[in-house]
Amino acid sequence: MPTEKKQKSSIWGGRFKTGPSDLMQEINASISFDKALYSEDIQCSKAHAEMLKQQNIITHEDFTAIQNGLNKIHSEISNGKFPFKVELEDIHMNIETRLAELIGEPAKRLHTARSRNDQVATDIRLYLRNQIDHLDDELKNLQKNLWKKAKENTQTLMPGYTHLQTAQPISFGFHLAAYIEMIGRDRQRFQDCRRRVNESPLGAGALAGTSFPIDRHLTAKLLGFERPMPNALDAVSSRDFALEFLSIASICAVHLSRLAEEIVIWSTDRFNFIRLSDEYTTGSSIMPQKKNPDAAELIRAKPGRIIGNFISLATILKGLPLAYSKDLQEDKEPLFDTQKSLSISIATMSGMIADMKINAVAMRSALQKGYPTATDLADYLVRNLEKPFRDAHHISGKIVALAEKKECALEKLELEEMQKIEPKLDESVYNVLKIDTAYNARASFGGTAPKEVKVRLAEIASRFNLADESN
Ligand code: ARG
């Protein structure tokens, strides 16, 4: 079926006889999603116009008209009054065309010494810089909420697991503090990425610079960028800053997903370590007793799309020749989706952590069932009976097997029974079999003993500037 011929583009239609087909228009248009960049696009155009004026490339009058027109467009878009047109492809051409409607001739001078290629690269960098700052605020808030809960629970004993089998006694505060460190590294990675995002492609032109006497240092400065990018071809072609953002977001989402999974496990009726608030759970449409950890499950699932977005952009970029190809238009949706998914994951996790109630009794009783002091017994045999650690491990294992057979905790075994396994044992062994002794003893740097955790919590609070506002 022949498609209806459209009007030629008012922006680039000069060398064309007819307009694009419906399908061409549909596959080509990005306005449905890149309108999210309107604020950055206007910011970028204002800086460009300012520079054109200062370099005497446009007149002061043209500049003023452009500024006023762009301000009007900004308020039209933010008030939902802007007539977006799909035939104008993208946010850049929608804004430029509207500017011409509003101010006439001067609008046509705005694109002097600029291309959509450097324009879009600038817009994305401005967008990502903002979003990194926003994510950093949210991550800091999450760290603070974890920190408060950790501080309240440096004495709350729980089983530390390896293979999800009881390993050694730890405190709940110690466990949460591990996530404060992980989130801290995510924040550092985003900050590091921000330095590479914060460079200006504006003025690179289509790919090779321009013959106009522009001042790229000025536009970089006006937009708060660290410097203009030194190679015009690189400036319009590269998206490694975006890929880096997506990879860091993926790592961060993986961290949140691990915590989310623990929350799901801890809140089951088998574990019953924590209770989530009504605000972060949902009910079942059929089973009235249910209180499901949907928020945690969704955070657990988000890396599905967030890692997918990384793979998506990496695949788009792979094998792409320099400089601009339309493939690059496909960079936006992965970025927007990752930003949205990660941001809501962090904020929801923060709320869930702040609201959750800890069941210290259930944590302690789970700990008692798992022979968590077996390592301490082996260490005792090394220290007090001078056994080699491997032999000590073996003896301790036999004593655990005995307790298992008798279905009792290690400290409930009679001394005589243990002496049948290791005759040199005496009463002092009971000190190490006690959970509280075992856990207080792990006071090595970074260990779980409450006094050590308190020192580390104070240190991390100052490292990440959490304490002043958290105390
Ligand atoms: N909408 C385009 C994008 O997002 C803008 C750049 C278009 N450049 C071009 N040479 N066709 O990538």
- Relative to the CA of 324, which ligand 1 atom is closest? 10
Residue 192 CB neighbour total at 10 angstroms: 11
pLDDT band (50, 70, 90) for residue 11: confident
Give the residue from 333, 339, 353 showing the smallest Cα distance to 250. 339
Residue indicated by tokens 């799309």:
305
List the Cα angle 314/230/37 in 5-degree steps.
Answer: 55
Helix H, strand E, coil C: the string for 323-380 is CCCHHHHHHHHHHHHHHHHHHHHHHHHHHHHHHCEECHHHHHHHHHHCCCCHHHHHHH
Say which of 284, 325, 365, 462 is annotated catalytic: 284
pLDDT score of 17 more than 90: no
317 C-alpha to ligand 1 centroid (Å): 15
Q: Which residue has the higher pLDDT, 72 or 434?
A: 72
What's the DSSP call for residue 245?
H
Query: Which residue from 118, 120, 335 has its CB within 8 A of the most atoms of ligand 1, so it is best to mutate?
Result: 120
What is the average pLDDT value for the chain, to the nearest integer? 94
Mean pLDDT over 23-45 rounds to 97
Whether residue 116 has its Cβ less than 6 Å from ligand 1:
yes
Segment (H or E) for 150: helix 116-152
132 touches 190 (CB < 8 A): yes
Whether residue 127 has its Cβ less than 6 Å from ligand 1:
no
Whether residue 328 has its Cβ less than 6 Å from ligand 1:
yes
Mean pLDDT over 110-133 rounds to 98
93 touches 329 (CB < 8 A): no
pLDDT band (50, 70, 90) for residue 390: very high
Whether residue 120 has its Cβ less than 6 Å from ligand 1:
yes
What residue type is 315 in one-letter code? T
Which structural domains are found in the chain, ordered by start? 26-109 (1.10.275.10), 116-155+170-210+230-365 (1.20.200.10), 369-470 (1.10.40.30)
Longest dimension (CA), the chain: 101
pLDDT score of 291 more than 70: yes
471 C-alpha to ligand 1 centroid (Å): 49
> Tokens in use for 306?
């967030």
3 C-alpha to ligand 1 centroid (Å): 24
Tell me whether strands 165-171 and 157-162 are parallel, antiparallel or unpaired.
antiparallel
Q: Per residue in 399-448, pLDDT tens?
A: 999 999 999 989 999 999 999 999 999 999 998 998 888 889 999 999 99
154 C-alpha to ligand 1 centroid (Å): 54
Say which of 163, 211, 285, 428 is annotated catalytic: 163
Cβ partners under 8 Å of residue 406, min gap 6:
413
pLDDT of residue 468: 59
Give the residue from 214, 213, 249, 209 showing the smallest Cα distance to 230. 209
Instruction: Determine the Cα–Cα distance for residues 112 and 120; give it in Å rounded to an integer.
Output: 15
Instruction: Determine the Cα–Cα distance for residues 64 and 226; give it in Å rounded to an integer.
Output: 27
Closest residue to atom 4 of ligand 1, CA basis: 329
- Relative to the CA of 30, which ligand 1 atom is closest? 1
Whether residue 247 has its Cβ less than 6 Å from ligand 1:
no
Query: Which residue from 329, 333, 335 has its CB within 8 A of the most atoms of ligand 1, so it is best to mutate?
Result: 329
Q: Examine the residue annotation and report whether 163 is marked as an active-site residue of this protein.
A: yes
pTM > 0.85: yes or no: yes
Q: Examine the residue annotation and report whether 134 is marked as an active-site residue of this protein.
A: no
